[in-house]
């Protein structure tokens, strides 16, 4: 009996152990299987959504959370997440995507031809999700006040109408394109141009009366890699307000190709808004120079800047500010572009010829819009560039970028890698050799701002000096004693060493290797001769907005620039 009891106790103990193992395995494996199943379903769902996005005529983008109360345009249900069209503004839930593609047309960039010329087009109404604080064009009362899918918005003129104010006659009324009619390229214009090209006619000027008398179409060129992810947001907002054909992402198309749209538009009327840093602006201006080489001078546009980079000195000089972070509505930016004044900007050729009897390489040639430098600020830019190349993901914020610059500037104050520069270089201004004092850096300026917002040539503003301008064919040449001296100049505690102004600058690096930069593009350079000569002039747009303290001292200069431009015109 005792043996039987012992065997039964052992069996029950084994069963209990296996039961424990079984439930332990279930507790571990079941969550893993559920996680894998959910991951599979999510990836499958994403593939389906991506396939719909790829085949759709809408410019769909998916979001996990809408920024304002939103309702599906198909099922009219309240939605927290889903897809929205960057062009027409449709918002739909995930399960209604296919149906939305079938039910709703997106903005047509070009009208379908029915054999005749067009000079107008009807409204294109989208129901629901109207902008906050918008008013009905009929009764002038606020729209979108009810917590449901209600009221209508025209995707072209941005006018809104109440459900009860939407009459049959209103659906056939012509669209006026709203506040930005002078900036929008109408779809009927492009359809007419397309027909003319098929007929091999190129007198596009005759099509302009179909549009408007003061028409100044704008082309938006956005570098989505500049700034703190602002480019993607701006692309969508500009596509909502304008014709999507006017808005280009420079990460997908080059400026040279995008600017060919100018050849289909009236001569000397196009304006280009470049959303990016100074490097992006230089890229666009190089593409405009290529248009001149191709004989397309009459189609050259005027260029405005929306600063998304780190330094933005050119943008600051032209009155567009030191950096954009979404504080100004896109509508106001377009108004500023319409009201901006045309000015000219000198562009310079920088030729770097290496020394040596056996040097068979061609000279390096750069185009300069802002400044050239050799010394501590070029060293900071070189260190920053090298660090960013290793870990680009860390440099997505303007604040972080400036903090890294500050770190390398502080480091150079202690190390002084560029000391005794005056013993290593010779400087000639318009063929006349300049005796250099004890310096660590030389900076050649074309524009008023340098180093992320400092007016270097003016310094503290307590000494008489000839004014610096960016359209007079003259360069300003200054010296600095080191990184600490640069920091003192930026906070107006010191003046630079003003070496002079010149039409041509020649700098000879006799020995050793030194850091150099042109418009923020740095490199380490051995013995060479650097020659800076005038190349061309670019047509820019100057925004005379609110003046900062630094701008007050140069207001007379800018007034003189505009007067000179008016005289030239």
The 10s digit of each residue's pLDDT in 31-46 is 888 888 888 777 777 7
181-195+214-339: CATH topology is Rossmann fold (3.40.50)
Where do the structural domains in the chain lie, given as residue ranges? 44-107, 122-178, 181-195+214-339, 347-536
Burial 103-128 (b: 16+ CB within 10 A, else e): ebebbbebbeeeeeebeebebbbbbb
Distance, in Å, from the CA atom of 220 to the CA atom of 213, rounded to the nearest integer, reads 22
Distance, in Å, from the CA atom of 345 to the CA atom of 353, rounded to the nearest integer, reads 26
Tens digit of pLDDT per residue, the chain (569 long)?
A: 455 555 666 777 777 778 878 888 888 888 888 888 888 777 777 777 788 888 888 989 888 888 888 999 999 999 998 899 999 999 999 889 889 988 999 998 887 655 555 667 888 999 999 988 889 988 889 998 888 999 999 999 999 999 888 875 565 678 888 889 999 998 888 888 888 877 777 666 666 644 566 789 999 999 988 766 688 889 999 999 999 999 999 999 999 999 999 988 888 889 999 999 888 999 999 999 999 989 889 899 999 999 987 778 899 999 998 888 888 899 999 999 999 999 999 999 999 998 875 666 788 899 999 999 998 888 887 877 666 666 665 655 666 666 665 665 565 555 567 788 888 999 999 999 999 999 989 999 999 888 777 888 887 777 778 888 899 999 999 999 888 888 888 888 888 999 999 999 999 998 888 999 998 888 999 999 999 999 999 999 999 875 444 554 444 444 444 444 444 43
Distance, in Å, from the CA atom of 526 to the CA atom of 515, rounded to the nearest integer, reads 9
44-107 and 122-178 share one fold:
yes
Q: What are phi and psi of 450, to 5 degrees?
A: -155, 150
**C-alpha R_g of the chain:** 31
Q: Which CATH number fits domain 347-536: 3.40.50.10800, 3.40.50.300, 2.60.40.10, 2.60.200.40?
A: 2.60.200.40
pLDDT of residue 208: 62
Q: Is 168 helix (H, G, I), strand (E, B) or coil?
A: coil
Helix crossing, 398-415 with 376-390: angle to 10°?
130
Please give the class, per CATH, of domain 44-107: alpha beta
pLDDT of residue 174: 83
Which CATH architecture does the domain made up of 122-178 adopt? 2-Layer Sandwich (3.30)
């Amino acid at each position: 009996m005792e043996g039987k009891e012992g065997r039964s106790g052992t069996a029950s103990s084994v069963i209990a152990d296996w039961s424990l193992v079984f439930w332990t395995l279930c507790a571990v494996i079941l969550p893993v299987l559920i996680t894998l199943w959910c991951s599979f379903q999510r990836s499958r769902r994403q593939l389906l959504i991506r396939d719909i996005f790829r085949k759709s005529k809408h410019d769909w983008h998916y979001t996990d959370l809408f920024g304002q109360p939103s309702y599906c345009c198909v099922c009219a249900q309240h939605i927290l997440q889903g897809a929205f069209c960057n062009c027409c503004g449709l918002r739909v839930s995930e399960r209604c995507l296919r149906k939305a593609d079938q039910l709703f047309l997106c903005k047509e960039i070009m009208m379908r031809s029915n054999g005749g010329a067009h000079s107008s087009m009807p409204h294109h109404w989208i129901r629901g999700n109207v902008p906050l604080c918008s008013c009905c064009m009929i009764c002038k009362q606020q729209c979108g006040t009810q917590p449901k899918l209600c009221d209508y918005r025209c995707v072209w003129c941005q006018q809104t109408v109440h459900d009860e104010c939407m009459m049959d006659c209103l659906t056939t009324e012509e669209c006026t394109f709203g506040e930005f009619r002078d900036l929008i390229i109408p779809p009927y214009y492009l359809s007419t141009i397309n027909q003319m090209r098929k007929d091999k006619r190129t007198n596009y000027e005759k099509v302009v009366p179909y549009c408007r008398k003061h028409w100044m179409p704008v082309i938006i060129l956005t570098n989505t890699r500049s700034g703190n992810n602002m480019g993607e947001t701006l692309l969508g907002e500009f596509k909502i307000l304008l014709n999507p054909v006017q808005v280009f992402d420079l990460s997908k198309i080059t400026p040279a190709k995008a600017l060919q749209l100018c050849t289909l538009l009236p001569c000397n009327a196009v304006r280009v808004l470049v959303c990016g840093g100074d490097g992006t602006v230089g890229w666009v201006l190089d593409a405009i120079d290529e248009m001149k080489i191709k004989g397309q001078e009459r189609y050259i546009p005027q260029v405005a800047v929306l600063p998304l980079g780190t330094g933005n000195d050119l943008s600051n000089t032209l009155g567009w500010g030191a950096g954009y972070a979404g504080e100004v509505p896109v509508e106001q930016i377009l108004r500023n572009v319409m009201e901006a004044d045309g000015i000219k900007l000198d562009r310079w050729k920088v030729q770097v010829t290496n020394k040596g009897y056996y040097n068979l390489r061609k000279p390096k040639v750069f185009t300069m819009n802002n400044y050239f430098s050799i010394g501590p600020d070029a060293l900071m830019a070189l260190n920053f560039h090298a660090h960013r190349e290793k870990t680009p993901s860390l440099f997505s914020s303007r604040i972080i970028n400036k903090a890294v610059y500050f770190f390398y500037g502080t480091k150079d104050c202690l190390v002084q890698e560029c000391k005794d520069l005056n013993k290593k270089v010779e400087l000639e201004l318009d063929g006349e050799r300049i005796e250099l004092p004890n310096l660590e850096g030389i900076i050649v300026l074309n524009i008023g701002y340098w180093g992320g917002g400092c007016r270097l040539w003016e310094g503290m503003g307590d000494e008489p000096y000839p004014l610096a301008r960016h359209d007079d064919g003259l360069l300003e040449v200054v010296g600095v004693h080191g990184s600490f001296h640069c920091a003192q100049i930026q906070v107006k505690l010191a003046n630079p060493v003003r070496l002079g102004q010149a039409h041509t600058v020649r700098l000879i690096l006799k020995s050793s290797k030194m850091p150099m930069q042109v418009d923020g593009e740095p490199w380490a350079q051995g013995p060479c001769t650097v020659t800076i000569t005038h190349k061309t002039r670019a047509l820019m747009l100057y925004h005379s907005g609110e003046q900062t303290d630094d701008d007050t001292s140069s207001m007379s200069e800018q007034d003189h620039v505009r007067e000179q431009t008016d005289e030239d015109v």
